[in-house]
Each structure stands twice: as structure tokens, then as C-alpha cells.
Amino acid sequence: MNNKAEAPSLFGVILAGGSGTRFWPLSRLQYPKQVLRLLGTESMLQATIERLLPLIPLERLIVVTNASQEDVIRLELHKKNWEGVKLVIEPLGRNTAAAVGLAAASLPETAEPAVLAVFPADHYIKEQEEFLAALTEGAHWAAQGSVVTFGITPATPETGYGYIQAGAPLDETTTARRGVRFIEKPPLTQAERFLAEGNFYWNSGIFLFRRDVLLEAMASLLPDLYQGLQALQGDPGPAKVTEIYQDLPNISLDHGILEKISDFVVLPVNLGWSDVGTWGALRHLFPQDAQGNVTLGRTVSLENKDCLIYAQDRLVASLGLENMVVVDTPDATLICPLTKIQEVKDIVAELNRQNMTESICHLTVERPWGEYTVIESGPGYKVKAIVVYPGKRLSLQYHNYRAEHWVVVQGTALVTIGKEVTRVHANESVYVPVKTPHRLENQSPENLKIIEVQTGPYLEEDDIIRLNDDFWR
């Protein structure tokens, strides 16, 4: 088969919701794993989309996320000029069955039934050619009515993944095999047996099926979900949507549907795949030193063994650690043995219980025009370092409660304050009084950097009244 030929009825559904807990403190509720640049310069989501584009054009990609992550996902797409991707926003996360169902229901019925290929937004796949070949073959079987799953040929007796047992090949022309059953994360002895026996594959979370096949299965196996999705189609208004969504069954596509279908297809694949599910899994994707350590950023590391040490900003010095993960971000540090890494979610739960914002957002926040970092705050003031990318401008806006002092430290700003428009150069400053419409723009080919000192009784992001904006806000 020709990998490069687009399959005309193939749609990609990318599941990009998440809670931002597993890679805390690098991930946050508003900056989840799928937008992290863990491996290279692209986010996991961007890499997932890039990987599909040879077979599925942007207009047939659907990204499903939830309201608290909408901004950052939209921004990730915007950075690549991928506004053509369809974005489906859940009012809140309700697991993968609901997310896939919502994506399927959002597609119009067509003469040739659509085939949906479902991908997590945050997995790593090394073998691009093999991936596209498998996708083409999977779409072929799905078009004929099968539910298809990618089964990853296991390399180790991994106890952190679910497994799929495969039976006989479908026919002599294909490596695709009949599915026998799904198996939950096994104990080590069982995983070792699976590896030795050879008919067991890791469940990759990648599935293909026809839209009509999925919806029929949903109607019979998850009727509450099916009816909820039907009720959402009539555009019942945001409050009602949230209400309906809250009542949907909180179940994964695997548990709710796939494991209950007797007839499915396993496509064995060797993709160099990793779900990058924990800091420990990430450690295996980086070159290690002779003692098994991965150190990233500004670190001094003496006598450590099998550690992952990541310093995003400041210096992290460590000595005599073994099998430990240390992750340092500008406002929070995590230290934890790799064996306990699954419990990082307990830390995030504790942060939420104590209303600590370190579980929600970072000090540096990306915006479509650039980014800002809160570098200092105290009673009645807040200081930000603001970067505006070349050719970009912030919205025309005003604030009800705060004044702003801007000092340009790099580049030249085109500044609107009230009716006046001036150029402000490095080592010059301007004052933006409270309630005065203003705009900051960078018309130069280089980054503009300013230090903003806000003063006033209320200094939160929701005191921005936008009068005009270049973006979707």
C-alpha cells in the first residue's frame, strides 16, 4: 500500500484532555502533558498532528479537549497555523468514551461512512513510516466494519500497560489478527508469560472504527452515554450542556466498549512507541550517563545513580541519590523516588485541597502574541516580564483596577495610550493610567521585551476588558 495516499474517509480524533497531574510540576491543569515540549521543540500534541498529516489533512482532524485546557490547546494549534483543525470542547473531562463519542457525534453523516482513527495526544512514536503503513492498513479493515486496535509488540514484561491477546491472522495477505481479549495491567509473572508466549501486545490506545459502527456499539453498550450525546446535538445552551455532560458515564473507551466487543482486529506494530506515562518512562527516552542518570538543565550531580534530574530554571545540586526524580520549575520543586512516581497525583490532590495555585498554572504564561512571566508580586503590585513576538500586538484593552508602568528593555514598542500612539525604545518608559484604553505592539522583526509594574487594589488576569483583538479572545 502507498503510505502517502490520503484515505478520503479517514478522520483523526486526537484526545487532548487531561488533568496535568502526571508530569507535575512541569504539567499543570492549564498546561497539561500534551502541550509539554518533553522531547524536542514540538509539543506532544503538535508531534501527534504532524505524524498524521501525510495521511489525514488538517480539515479532517478533530482535537477533543476540555474547557480548562481550551486556551492552551488553541494556542498550540495557532502556533502552527493549524486553525483548520476542528476543536471539540468538553465542558469538563468525562473520560475517553464520552470524548470519542462527542467527536463522532460532531461529524455529519456522509454517503461514504467516515472511519475514525483515535489517538492519544501525548504518546511518543519513533517509527513514522511504519506508523503510516499501519494506519493505512488499519483504516482498510475499519472501513469494512471492524474495530481495529494497534497492538504494540512488547519489548519487556511491562506491568504498567494493558495487554491485548491476539488470535489467528485475518488472512494470508495481512499481519492483522483476530482479537481475543483485553487484559488489565498484569502482575510481573503474568507479564513475563505474555512476553514469552508471543501472542500478547501492549494496548496502545490507538483504535480505528467506522463512525456508524462506534455509535451503534455505544447505543447498545453505553445507552446512557449515547442518549446524552443525542441530547447535546440540539445545541441546548452552555448551562444545559454542562449539566448533560456531568451526568455522562465516566468510563474509558476501552472499558465501556472495546472490551465488550467480541469481534475486533489486532494490528501488531513496532513503532518505537511509549505512552510517556511517567517521569520514569520519560527517563528511558533520553541518553543516560554511565550511572544511568538523565540530567537536564543547570545541574550539579555527584554520585547519583539511575536518576532523572530536571532543572528548568535555577541550579539543582544533588548528591548520592538513587532511583530518584527531581523536577525543578520556577515556582515548585518535586522530589520523589521513581518507584513512587504514580503517587505524584496525591501531591497534586493535596495542592488542590489547600488551594495552592501551583497545580493550576505556571508563572510563565504563553499568549498568542508572546508570553509573560510574573517575576514578583506583593500587596498592591505585581511585576511582569513581557515578551511580544515580531509583528504581534496585544488586544486593545483597559483595566478597571490597575495602572501599569512599562519600561522597554529590548526592542521598540508601538504604544497606544488613549488617543496617543508613540514609539517607545529600550531604556524608555510610559505610564498607563487606570481605565485608559491601551495597546502594546511590536512592529519590528525582533522580540520586544518590557518590564511591567502593575499597581492597584486588584491585579488578576480577569481585569482585562478587550476592545479589539487579533486573536480569538
Is residue 15 close enough to count as binding a second copy by CB under 8 A? no
User: Nearer Cβ to a second copy, position 223 or 418?
Assistant: 418
Which class for 422: exposed (0-12), middle (13-18), buried (19 or more C-beta within 10 A)?
Answer: exposed
Under rule CB under 8 A, residue 403 binds a second copy: yes
Q: Of residues 154, 268, 297, 337, which one binds a second copy by CB under 8 A?
A: 337
Rounded to the nearest 5°, which phi and psi values hold at 29? -50, -45
Please name every residue paired with 62 in a beta bridge, in sequence order, or none if there are none. Answer: 13, 86
Strands 294-302 and 465-468: what pairing?
unpaired
Is residue 296 near a second copy by the rule CB under 8 A?
no
In the complex, least distance from residue 428 CB atom to a second copy, rounded to whole angstroms = 9
Residue choice 380, 390, 391, 418 for contact with a second copy (CB under 8 A): 380
Near a second copy by CB under 8 A: residue from 188, 300, 421, 467 = 300
Residue 201 CA to residue 183 CA, distance in Å, equals 10
Q: Which of 328, 394, 395, 417 binds a second copy (CB under 8 A)?
A: 328
Per the CB < 8 A criterion, the answer to whether 225 and 96 are in contact is: no
Among the candidate windows 33-41, 86-94, 153-161, 322-330, which touches a second copy by CB under 8 A? 322-330
Q: Smallest distance from the beta carbon of 327 to a second copy, in angstroms?
A: 9
331 binds a second copy per the rule CB under 8 A: yes
Answer yes or no whether residue 451 interacts with a second copy by CB under 8 A.
Answer: yes
- Return d(Cα 119, Cα 275) in angstroms, integer: 11
Which of residues 254 and 328 has its CB atom nearest to a second copy in the complex? 328
Q: Is 316 in the site for a second copy (CB under 8 A)?
A: yes
**Cβ-count burial of 274 within 10 angstroms (0-12 exposed, 13-18 middle, 19+ buried)?**
middle
Q: How far is the CB of 380 from a second copy (least distance, A)?
A: 7
Size of the site for a second copy (CB under 8 A): 58
Query: What's the gap between Cα 144 and its chain centre?
Result: 31
Which residues inside 20-79 make contact with a second copy, applying CB under 8 A? 25
Angle 79-16-98 from CA coordinates, rounded to 5°: 145
Question: Which one among 330, 401, 443, 471 touches a second copy, defined by CB under 8 A?
Answer: 330
Binds a second copy (CB under 8 A): choice among 71, 76, 358, 441: 358
3-class DSSP state of 184: coil
Q: What is the 3-state secondary structure (H, E, C) of 243-286?
A: HHHHHCCCCCHHHHCHHHCCCEEEEEECCCEECCCCHHHHHCCC
Work out whether 223 is an interface residue with a second copy (CB under 8 A): no
Decide if residue 427 touches a second copy (CB under 8 A): yes
Cβ(128)–Cβ(138) below 8 Å: no
Q: Of 335, 331, 356, whose CA–CA distance to 344 is shortest?
A: 335
| 411: contact with a second copy by CB under 8 A | no
Burial-class residue 447 by CB neighbours within 10 Å (0-12, 13-18, 19+): middle
Of 290 and 319, which CB lies nearer to a second copy in the complex structure? 319
CB-based contact 313:57 (threshold 8 Å): no
Q: Are 1 and 49 in contact (CB under 8 A)?
A: no
Question: According to CB under 8 A, which residues from 133 to 192 bind a second copy?
Answer: none
Whole-angstrom distance, CA of residue 454 vs CA of residue 460: 10
Closer Cβ to a second copy, 40 or 320, answer by number? 320
Residues in contact with a second copy by CB under 8 A are 25, 300, 302-303, 311, 314-321, 324, 326, 328, 330-337, 339-340, 343-344, 346-347, 350-351, 354, 356, 358, 373, 375-376, 378-381, 383, 385, 403, 405, 407, 409-410, 426-427, 429, 431, 449, 451, 453, 455-456
